[in-house]
Amino acid sequence: MKYINREKGRNCNISLEALKNINIIKIFSTESHEYSKYANSLDTILNLQIKKEQFNLLHMIISKMFVTITYVLIILKGDALLRSNQIDGKTFTSFFFYINNIYSCVDILDYFVDICDIVEQYRHIIALLAGGACAKIGKSPFAMVSSGTGRVSGTGRVSGTGRVSGTGRVSGISHDELVPDMGSKKSGEKDVVLSFRNVYFRYPNRENGYVLKNVNMKIYRNTSNVILGKSGGGKSTLLKLILNLYKCSKGKIYLYNKLLNMYTSRQIFDHITYVQQDSKLLNATIKENMTYGISDSTNFDMLDLTNISKCCTSHEFISRLRKRYETHISNKTELITSSQKQKICIARALIRYPKILLLDESTSAMDKENERAIFQNLRRNSIFKDLTIIRITHKKANLDLSDNVFVLKDGYITRQKHI
């Protein structure tokens, strides 16, 4: 029974973890993986339940056969004793009903499995009531619940198409499929990976004006671009338009000189990786966090993992941990700081070798020296020679490392080389 309840708990954790990290699942296109993980857990529960019912059936058959055979033997023996006048009819009848009453009490054993199941399910509650948890805080469990302090906490692959392979290459769609033939374009147009043309946007529930107004912007291949502006000015909205999570109210967005709306979500997320300011860590090891979304993550080359980790300046603090990359972490872990969590999230994005990297205040918890080291490493590392970076920030540090700086103010965007 404990195996069934343990698997049910694991199944519950899988679903809760997926709901908490729904943005990561969407961005990394791992819906198939999460679905398969949940389905496999349900299959395990089903198989365990089948074994349980088979055991119950066998137990019932054996117990009923034992009782039936016992009754038959008693009747046969009683008949022989009655014929030989060794006992009278009253004595035999009394003995028979006495045995019948005993077996009626023994029938409670048929519910033994169900009782064990109930005990296992409520074992933690029973332990809480019987243990010293209440004594430590000097309150009854009922007072603890009513006061709001008795909060119970919990912790908690089948690969799909369009996933990243262990070599870091995107499977399911090639770069040539995403990038249309641009031989007829001018040489300058060939390097344009993203362009906004007269883009307006406003939220459906807001009728008081546009968040973005007449945005015209071109992003070129292998450039570092910064969008500067105040908090709440529409910078994050701009990135969500690039990801096609929001639709333009007016205007058009082109990805590789092709309308963004003509791409599927999987095609977009396979080539564009997005790191949020509050991007979540999975309840898993550091290695599993970094290689999330890769089809053969267990066999991912540790040398590549280490190189990308060094690029994000995370290898040093990971090496100081006792289990290094096998250290179990989660979004609530206290083993690492907020800036270190952000470094792991950036490494998780880079390990997919994206064409375009979107950073939404993703270095906000870092000091300017660490932030500078990461962007310098990305510029120097040959494996990211075709990487285009678009980051939004309200800080003016390290702008000298950017090729283009765009300023977003009052919904309008302007381009400035140096600030």
How does pLDDT run across 79-131, given as a tens digit for each residue?
888 888 888 888 888 888 888 787 777 666 667 667 776 776 667 676 767 66
The percent of residues in the chain predicted with pLDDT above 70, rounded, is 79
Ranges assigned E (strand) in 235-283? 250-255, 258-259, 272-275
Please name the fold of domain 175-416. Rossmann fold (3.40.50)
Sorted by sequence, the CB contacts under 8 Å of residue 259 that are 6+ apart come out as 252, 253
pLDDT at 419: 43
Give the pLDDT band of residue 161 (cuts 50, 70, 90): very low
330-332-336-341 Cα dihedral, nearest 10 degrees: 70
Model confidence pLDDT, tens digit, residues 234-286: 888 999 999 998 899 899 999 998 999 999 888 888 889 999 888 788 888 99
pLDDT at 148: 42
With b meaning 16 or more CB within 10 Å and e meaning fewer, what string describes 63-77? eeeeeeeeeeeeeee
**pTM, rounded to two decimals:** 0.68
pLDDT at 251: 92
Closest CA to 1 of 118, 176, 85: 118
Give the pLDDT band of residue 166 (cuts 50, 70, 90): very low
Domain residue ranges in the chain: 2-146, 175-416
Model confidence pLDDT, tens digit, residues 279-318: 788 888 999 989 888 877 667 788 889 999 999 999 999 9
pLDDT at 120: 66
Judged on CB neighbours under 10 Å (0-12, 13-18, 19+), 205 is exposed
